[in-house]
Chain A
């Protein structure tokens, strides 16, 4: 062998050796217990974004909160029927007559997965840790703002002392952690604490599932807690598998690799319809989208900032724009029908709190034109309205992503019809956040997801949540319309101390009416949550709220406790018919197109070769 070839080969060998540690690195982490999944019934959920952290003080995505709900217990949860507060680890709770504390009766006999008993002391520890903590405040700070301290008077009694009466006490979504584990993780260590299982040792929790294996970016594997106080789950293992694209997720569902596909886009969703063994479901979801206005950007102290168009300070102009929007078209064309026209900022999924306004800002271009005429914006020669020589030309910022951009184009057309010129600009959510905080916009398209407790969402429209200044820089707070109405603020203060649910709901409705009438937002739609699952293998899902709500990723873990495998005989037949590999129409198109391209390319290459040969022969 020539020495150069030999050297080249040894180089190649060296490269191979370099790759070897990679292989072993991936191959390590064998779990000693629970050797194979033979005979175990596993429910696998496909998710499109990985759990960012299994440490309940760190993670932020929906998938992470679902993980915490599976691993730990909460004092209270939300009922599957109508998302109202429901006792959970606390069998019962009540506010003291002097309104200075709340007492929670902790269920007795609940055990941590390592055998230690779960007592009120664990609950008190958890709350005090958040109250006194720094990093611990990141995810749960808002829940404990009004809690002075937590105290366990005995093993089953937790007393939370409050600074002032607050309704949040029925919605404390703080996972109760085992003191004997977390007391060893101090305030600094907790920031980088992974809370992941090592060597197959489950994370200590009290929830219906225990995290036993986690591969970042790949999957999380849970083992059922057969002694769970609400009853044992009816399967053995739960897996969350991460997909980085929805087509692959749909593919895995049709093949039966997963049982439930979460977070589908509408084109993939449509492709899964009518597949044997698969049920698609578009559920009510507590999210809305809106066109937000710059109603007069200012700091929380009232100092004006930004460069918003002055016309939008006029409520009549905002109302006119709201009435120029055809919400039904948006629902049908942008959402493919998976949603409904929106009105107020608490979605109808919360029937107790949602306000259905008596008079709606329906699509009515004639009315919109009238409003603008009356507001003093006559149409110019070119059809664009103007006041004092200034054209009514507005910027509309939309986000990357099909839905936002499509909405932007529709709105542009509709506003042109009523004499408002709109320039649409697409930008990343991150860039948009920055611009909103500075008040440097006229309108933008975005949305919110509303929690069962409406406090957070209602605070968005208070004067105090407008941007603030720190040094020379201006920073965004929650407000993205700079809506400021002292009357609204008064109602907000009032509701934040109102512990009677009925009275509070009344206040919430008045607040929604106010924001709706003042048109801080032109609300566009409430959107649905799209999922698909193997109905040939699984049954018993509990929708929240009943009957049109979500099946999984709810406020609570109701479905996980009741789903069960379909009886074997029926499932075997259905499964075999459901195995035919399916694909979304987009993918079929791509495949056909690709084959055509290949064929043409092949012919071209062959022809070119032939001529080349001819040239050479000459």
Chain B
């Protein structure tokens, strides 16, 4: 590329060597993905604010129903909500996670409410996804490698049937069929001590986690199976066999790693939705999680709480999608050089 003409006497600026495309390579890939995520987040922030301002309903009326409130207090509360929308927006933007805003329904700071609900959900859904993905990947590999075999038929038939069953129904059946597990909740009143609490919690988790994992299982199994089947006829597998590798090694070292990408996508997408919770299973097992909180918030509508919950859900999806994108680059270098 030619250098720009400059005034006489001034030394010419050194020539730029070969022009590299803007933000290429792994670093470029990472920067691109991160900035894209930030843009999405910003949009979510703005959208989140105006969406809930457009909903119909009288939040103060809902709040005061059933309370012995004095009229002057109602007027004061209304004045809060009747401030100019611009002022409210600025206040929101300055700190969307502000803990000073109270939930209308629960009369408590929204992030405090969300905070205490988020861990039970992460624990429940996170464990279920972990179990389902590990078991699903294993089942998918086994059945895909011997496609059409007895193991494949049994696995695919069973997981698909389980997948077709509603979560609450699986939950109810487990609850009634296994009466020695607790009928709900996370912990037993009065249990103390670290180890006892952990064991007690694990004991309470058995049924809900099983119910969720059973339903998730089919997704992972079928995706893993399908992508492995795609790899089966690839030439590199023939080559590996021709090298004299054992069938086992061909599968483990060559086929599976290449077939793993779609499954990783699925796992991370699902992890993004973890905080969305599993409303039905949470209901069956009286599990005080975020899914239920968002349902209650929506019924109000409890605008401050809804805003917080939606922001958190969006944040979860955006962050995990970003993580998945970044992991692709690690798992498969081709992604970042394209």
Q: Which residues of B contact A11 (CB under 8 A)?
A: 264, 327
A570-607 interface bits toward B, Cβ cutoff 8 Å, 1 = contact, 0 = none = 00000000000101000100110010011001100110
- Looking at the complex, which of B6-14, B41-49, B101-109, B211-219 is the stretch in contact with chain A? B101-109
Closest to B73 in A: A137
List, in ascending order, chain A residues with CB within 8 A of B76's CB: 134
Q: Given A23-B123, A428-B299, A431-B57, A239–B157 Cβ distance below 8 Å?
A: no
A601 CB, min distance to chain B CBs, angstroms: 5
**What residues of A have a CB within 8 angstroms of the CB of B66 in the complex?**
60
Given contacts A12-B130, A430-B62, A430-B299, contact A215 B70 (CB under 8 A): no
Tell me which residues across on chain A come within 8 A of B122, comparing CB atoms: 19, 22
Q: Which residue of B lies closest to A5 (CB)?
A: B257
The answer, yes or no, to whether A192 is at the interface (CB within 8 Å) is yes
CB within 8 Å for A471 and B82 given contacts A219-B189, A430-B300: yes
- Neighbouring B residues of A7 by C-beta, 8 Å: 330-331
Chain A residue total in the interface (Cβ 8 A): 91
Is B132's CB within 8 Å of the partner chain A?
Answer: no
Given contacts A145-B70, A613-B148, contact A581 B179 (CB under 8 A): yes
Interface status of A379 (Cβ within 8 A of chain B): no
Give A245 to B285 CA distance when docked, in angstroms. 8
Stretch of B24-32, B84-92, B193-201 on the interface side: B193-201
Interface contact B286-A248, CB-CB below 8 Å: yes
Chain B CB within 10 Å, residue with most, of A12, A248, A428: A248
Q: How far is the CA of A4 from the CA of B330 in the complex (A)?
A: 9
Nearest-CB residue, chain A, relative to B59: A430
A601–B161 CB distance below 8 A: yes
Interface segment, B15-23, B180-188, B227-235, B304-312?
B180-188
User: Does A81 make an interface contact (CB < 8 A)?
Assistant: no
Q: What 0/1 pattern do residues 119 to 137 of B give for CB contact below 8 A with A?
A: 1101100110010011000
**Looking across the interface, which residue of chain B has its beta carbon closest to that of A593?**
B169
Q: Which of A141, A219, A471 contacts B185 (CB 8 A)?
A: A219
Q: A5-B256, A590-B169 are in contact. Are A239 and B189 (CB under 8 A)?
A: yes
Which of A26, A191, A248, A613 contacts B183, CB < 8 Å? A248
B5 within 8 A of A: no
A213 to B160, Cβ gap below 8 A?
no
Q: Is B253 an interface residue (CB 8 A)?
A: yes
Q: Are A602 and B157 in contact (CB under 8 A)?
A: yes
Nearest A-chain residue to B282, judged by Cβ: A244
Q: What sequence of 0s and 1s flags, for each residue 237-264 of chain B, a beta carbon within 8 Å of any chain A beta carbon? A: 0000000000000001110110010001
**Residue interface mask B61-85, A partner, CB < 8 A = 1:** 1100111111001111010001000
Q: Is the CB of A215 within 8 A of B186?
A: yes
Number of interface residues of B (CB under 8 A): 87
Is B130 a contact partner of A60 (Cβ separation < 8 A)? no
Question: Which residues of B278-333 are within 8 A (CB) of A?
Answer: 282-288, 292, 299-301, 327, 330-332
Residue of B nearest to A32 (CB): B192
CB contacts under 8 Å to B, within A30-82, are 30-32, 34-37, 42, 44, 50, 52-53, 58, 60
Q: Report the nearest A residue to B152, measured CB to CB.
A: A609
Shortest beta-carbon distance, A238 to chain B, in Å? 10
| CB of A237 within 8 Å of the partner chain | yes
- A94 on the interface (CB 8 Å rule)? no
- Separation in Å of the A484 CB from the closest CB of chain B? 18
Instruction: Report the minimal beta-carbon distance from B79 to chain A, rounded to whole angstroms.
Output: 9
A252 at the interface (CB under 8 A from B): yes
Within 8 A of B (CB), among A431-466: 431, 433-434, 437, 456
Besides A7-B331, A58-B108, A590-B169, 5 more A-B contacts (Cβ < 8 Å) are: A26-B187, A30-B197, A35-B193, A137-B69, A217-B117
Q: Which 3 A-B pairs have the closest CB atoms?
A: A217-B288, A4-B257, A142-B68
A-B contact pairs, 8 of them (CB 8 A): A2-B254, A5-B253, A44-B189, A213-B189, A244-B283, A430-B301, A476-B61, A594-B165
